[in-house]
């Protein structure tokens, strides 16, 4: 790598002929050392002007121009390139009204000893004066060898008056000399690391990283060459985790359990004594015994032929099953609990059924029947073992016994990916006091929570994630109505707990809770928070008069919600009729019902338009349509009532941005339409689209969210993909570059403060 001294000559020498037959005033140069503030590595400041009083000195009131020339930093590696000058005649024109010289300068990058045209970095003009009888001022540039004037060589700039009028600057005519010197040879930059013991620099030890220049050229960073040291420190040892314990206690018959039972207590072994103490209980639940069972009834099967007709074109069998409640050994009509029809195939083989008795044993403790069915492939009239296609076991009822329960740990990676408890229940038929494998009738698992992304939402210059914990984390601008920009890690939204559905608008957000209520926080200029006011709220407030909410959507200045009964409501800004209630342009601070939609599965509010997906898979939009964001291809500027999106079916979810709309279909594909200045449609272009286009998404989109100028989709495996506007890093790919096709949003769950 080369580092070299850059020279910049921005001043202009102007040579003026004298008037009235007199010699012209002399152009003088002077210089002094530059200040450390102007030149950290040192340099000179060159002054120029006309010697108006002709005393041979450049006085302060005669200075007309100045230029600071700084030394370059010490280089590393090879010597720097030489600074070269090239002088050419300059014709009369804008640069020199009376002609003159053009002095080009630059670095000899190709080291051929000549200043080529592509190496010119700047030009200084030395112009002739107006016609007169005075003497011309001349300039001469000469190479300066290494020595006292320039340690590593350079150029000498000579100026003076052409006293003998021969057009050459003779040594006796030189009035001023300025030196422009080359930089010094560079040194290699080295880095060395060594262990740092625990102490002031690193409380728990770590590494010391030294850097500096290899001044003695021995390829090793000696202590005297170190210019900077930084420390990479070890973190403190983490605290030991606590074991999750459970305890079962027998409960006698009483208020909690009329027939007795057990108390299941769970918690963390905080004192590490391997015993779940009462002070460590985190959760307790009663598992009660049922009443003593009565004697069971025999299960019976009755098989009868079905003649060809309405039920079976080619005939078949009617299989009826039930319990012999009157113990008469016959399945009466009132005892039938299940009916199954087995029809013969057309011109095929007969379907046969075998019913055999099962004696008391492991399969059925009190006996029962084995029902086998299949096709008589060899037309022998008998259902052979190789022809059996279905087997069902019907066991007789058992004499009543005490209901038992047993609890054990559930292994990681099985039914419970993060572990948990396995709870087995059944009747202790042999009254042994132990629930044996053959007595287990039901198995349930209580699994530890798996933390992952449940939903992604995008708003104006921000993206938020809803985790399976019910907490909300955001990147970009978050939390209160000022939405302070966050350039660091994901940050939590204060006061947003137990959320199940999330969406962001312009400087505000909304979410729902399991009880069907809706909550919003942030900017409230149009009444978009739905609390009946226009007051901004830094923490979530409940939306008035809204219950049974299934999903919610926050737009530019209005909000909409889909209810569990299929209706939808909206509130806030209504400039383009985006509330859909046919109330014109009047804003609403509490919810109003959307007209004509009765089976809304999901709804999404944008800036000036709204869209909904109905349970039949169709999509409907209304409001502003300037960019074709309603997707009907009509070109109409706005719609007060919902219109159907062109050619889009099987819609699973829909999301509206500022001027564009996107939908995820049940087949996992994603589609977008409308405004596309930043590539937010994801089709690889920047072209607006009045009808849906396919998003270039390699993965499956289980849900989709359109923001102000960008869009994101979530994959069933928890990964998130985004595209479009990225000035604030809202695509989450580690860059600030807009993307016309999807890129992965980088998430590290372990770094979140849960």
pLDDT one-digit tens code per residue, 562-595 = 999 999 999 999 999 999 887 777 899 999 999 8
- The percent of residues in the chain predicted with pLDDT above 90, rounded, is 24
Specify which of 292-301, 466-475, 726-735 reaches the highest per-range mean pLDDT. Answer: 726-735
Confidence at 16, pLDDT banded by 50, 70, 90: very low
List the beta strands (DSSP E) in 531-634: 537-542, 549-554, 558-563, 568-572, 588-593, 600-605, 609-614, 619-624
- The percent of residues in the chain predicted with pLDDT above 70, rounded, is 68
Would you state the pLDDT for residue 663? 96
3-state secondary structure of 750: helix
Would you state the pLDDT for residue 14? 35
Distance CA 552, CA 561 (A): 4
The stretch 241-264 carries a mean pLDDT of: 72
Interval 19-74: pLDDT, tens: 333 344 555 666 677 787 877 766 667 667 777 777 777 788 878 767 666 655 54
Would you state the pLDDT for residue 482? 41
pTM of the model: 0.41
Asked whether the predicted pLDDT for residue 535 surpasses 90, the reply is yes
Minimum mean pLDDT among 38-42, 143-147, 331-335, 453-457: which range?
38-42
Asked whether the predicted pLDDT for residue 478 surpasses 90, the reply is no
Asked whether the predicted pLDDT for residue 152 surpasses 50, the reply is yes
Distance CA 562, CA 556 (A): 18
Would you state the pLDDT for residue 510? 93
Minimum mean pLDDT among 355-364, 403-412, 467-476, 692-701: which range?
403-412
Would you state the pLDDT for residue 6? 31
Distance CA 393, CA 16 (A): 118
* 360: its two tokens: 């008391």
Confidence at 487, pLDDT banded by 50, 70, 90: low
Q: Check if the beta carbon of residue 328 is closer than 8 Å to that of residue 308.
A: no
Confidence at 76, pLDDT banded by 50, 70, 90: very low
Quick one: 540 exposed, middle or buried, by C-beta within 10 A (0-12, 13-18, 19+)? buried
Confidence at 739, pLDDT banded by 50, 70, 90: very high
What pairing do the DSSP bridges indicate for beta strands 120-127 and 13-14?
Answer: parallel
Confidence at 639, pLDDT banded by 50, 70, 90: confident
Return the closest-CA partner of residue 556 out of 533, 592, 583, 587.
587
pLDDT top residue among 354 and 556: 556
Q: Which domains does the chain have, with CATH numbers?
A: 13-181 (no CATH), 189-233 (no CATH), 244-288 (no CATH), 299-395 (no CATH), 402-447 (no CATH), 453-751 (2.130.10.30)
The stretch 418-426 carries a mean pLDDT of: 68
Mean pLDDT, all residues of the chain: 76
Residues pairing with 748 in the sheet: none
The stretch 530-555 carries a mean pLDDT of: 92
Would you state the pLDDT for residue 78? 41
Q: Check if the beta carbon of residue 693 is closer than 8 Å to that of residue 686.
A: no
The stretch 711-740 carries a mean pLDDT of: 93
pLDDT top residue among 371 and 14: 371
Q: Check if the beta carbon of residue 32 is closer than 8 Å to that of residue 130.
A: no
Confidence at 434, pLDDT banded by 50, 70, 90: confident
Interval 178-202: pLDDT, tens: 665 665 545 665 657 788 888 888 7
Query: CB-based contacts of 381: which residues, under 8 Å, 6+ apart?
Result: 350, 352
Confidence at 675, pLDDT banded by 50, 70, 90: very high
Query: CB-based contacts of 520: which residues, under 8 Å, 6+ apart?
Result: 508, 509, 510, 511, 528, 529, 530, 531, 537, 540, 541, 543, 554, 559
The stretch 671-684 carries a mean pLDDT of: 97
Q: How far is CA 547 from CA 141, 282, 508, in A?
A: 87, 32, 21
Confidence at 170, pLDDT banded by 50, 70, 90: confident
Minimum mean pLDDT among 31-45, 76-90, 467-481: which range?
76-90
Asked whether the predicted pLDDT for residue 627 surpasses 90, the reply is yes
* 238: its two tokens: 């983490």
Return the closest-CA partner of residue 263 out of 277, 252, 276, 248.
248
Return the closest-CA partner of residue 60 out of 68, 69, 52.
52
């Amino acid at each position: 790598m080369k580092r070299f001294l850059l020279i910049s000559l921005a001043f202009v020498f102007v040579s003026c002929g004298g008037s009235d037959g007199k010699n012209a005033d002399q152009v003088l140069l002077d210089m002094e050392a530059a200040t450390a503030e102007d030149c950290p590595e040192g340099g000179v400041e060159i002054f120029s002007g006309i010697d108006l009083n002709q005393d041979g000195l450049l006085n302060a009131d005669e200075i007309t121009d100045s230029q600071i020339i700084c030394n370059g930093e010490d280089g590393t590696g090879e010597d720097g390139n030489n600074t070269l000058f090239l002088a050419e005649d300059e014709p009369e024109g804008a640069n020199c009204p009376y002609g003159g010289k053009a002095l080009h300068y630059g670095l000899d990058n190709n080291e051929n000893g000549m200043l080529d045209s592509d190496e010119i970095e700047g030009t200084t003009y030395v112009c002739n004066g107006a016609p007169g009888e005075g003497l011309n001022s001349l300039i001469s540039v000469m190479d300066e060898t290494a020595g006292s004037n320039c340690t590593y060589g350079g150029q000498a700039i000579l100026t003076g008056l052409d006293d003998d009028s021969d057009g050459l600057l003779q040594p006796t005519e030189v009035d001023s000399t300025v030196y422009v010197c080359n930089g010094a040879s560079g040194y290699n930059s080295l880095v060395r690391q060594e262990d740092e013991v625990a102490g002031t620099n690193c409380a728990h030890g770590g590494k010391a990283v030294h850097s500096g220049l290899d001044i003695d050229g021995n390829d090793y960073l000696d202590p005297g060459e170190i210019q900077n040291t930084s420390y990479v420190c070890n973190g403190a040892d983490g605290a030991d985790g606590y074991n999750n314990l459970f305890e079962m206690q027998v409960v006698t018959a009483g208020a909690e359990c009329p027939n007795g039972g057990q108390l299941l207590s769970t918690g963390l072994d905080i004192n590490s004594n391997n015993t779940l103490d009462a002070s460590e209980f985190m959760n307790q639940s009663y598992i009660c015994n049922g009443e003593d069972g009565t004697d069971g009834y025999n299960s019976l099967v009755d098989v009868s032929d079905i003649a060809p007709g309405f039920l079976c074109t080619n005939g078949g069998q009617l299989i009826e099953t039930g319990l012999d409640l009157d113990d008469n050994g016959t399945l009466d009509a009132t005892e039938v609990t299940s009916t199954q029809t087995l029809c013969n195939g057309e011109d095929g083989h007969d379907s046969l059924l075998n019913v055999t008795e099962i004696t008391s044993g492991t399969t059925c403790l009190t006996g029962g029947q084995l029902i086998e069915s299949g096709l008589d492939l060899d037309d022998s009239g008998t259902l052979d073992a190789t022809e059996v296609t279905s087997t069902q076991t019907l066991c007789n009822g058992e004499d009543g016994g005490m209901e038992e329960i047993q609890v054990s740990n559930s292994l990681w990676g099985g039914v419970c990916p993060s572990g948990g408890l396995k709870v087995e229940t059944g009747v202790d038929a042999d009254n042994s006091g132990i629930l044996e494998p053959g007595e287990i009738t039901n198995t349930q698992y209580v699994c530890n929570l798996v933390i992952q992304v449940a939903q992604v939402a995008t708003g104006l210059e921000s993206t938020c994630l809803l985790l399976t914990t019910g907490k909300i984390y955001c990147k970009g601008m978050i939390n209160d109505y000022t939405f302070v920009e966050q350039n660091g890690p994901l940050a939590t939204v204060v006061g947003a707990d137990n959320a199940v559905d999330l969406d962001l608008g312009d400087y505000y957000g909304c979410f729902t809770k399991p009880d069907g209520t809706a909550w919003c926080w942030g900017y409230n200029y149009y009444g978009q928070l739905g609390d009946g006011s226009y007051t901004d709220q830094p923490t979530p407030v409940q939306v008035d008069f809204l219950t049974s909410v299934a999903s919610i959507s926050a737009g530019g200045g209005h909000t909409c919600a889909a209810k569990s009964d299929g209706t939808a409501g909206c509130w806030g800004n209504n400039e383009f009729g985006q509330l859909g209630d046919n109330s014109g342009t009047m804003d609403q601070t509490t919810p109003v019902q959307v007209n004509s939609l009765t089976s809304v599965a999901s709804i999404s509010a944008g800036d000036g338009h709204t869209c909904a997906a109905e349970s039949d898979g169709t999509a409907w939009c209304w409001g502003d349509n300037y960019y074709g964001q309603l997707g009907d291809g009509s070109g109409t500027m706005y719609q007060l009532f919902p219109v159907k999106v062109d050619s889009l079916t099987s819609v699973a979810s829909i999301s509206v941005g500022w001027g564009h709309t996107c939908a995820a279909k049940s087949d996992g594909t994603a589609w977008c339409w409308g405004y596309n200045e930043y590539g937010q449609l994801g089709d690889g272009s920047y072209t607006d689209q009045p009808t849906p286009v396919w998003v270039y998404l390699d993965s499956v989109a289980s849900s989709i969210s359109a923001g102000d100028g960008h869009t994101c989709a979530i994959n069933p495996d928890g990964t998130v993909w985004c595209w479009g506007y990225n000035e604030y890093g809202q695509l989450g790919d580690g860059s600030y570059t807009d993307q016309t096709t999807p890129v992965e949003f980088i998430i590290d769950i372990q770094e979140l403060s849960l």
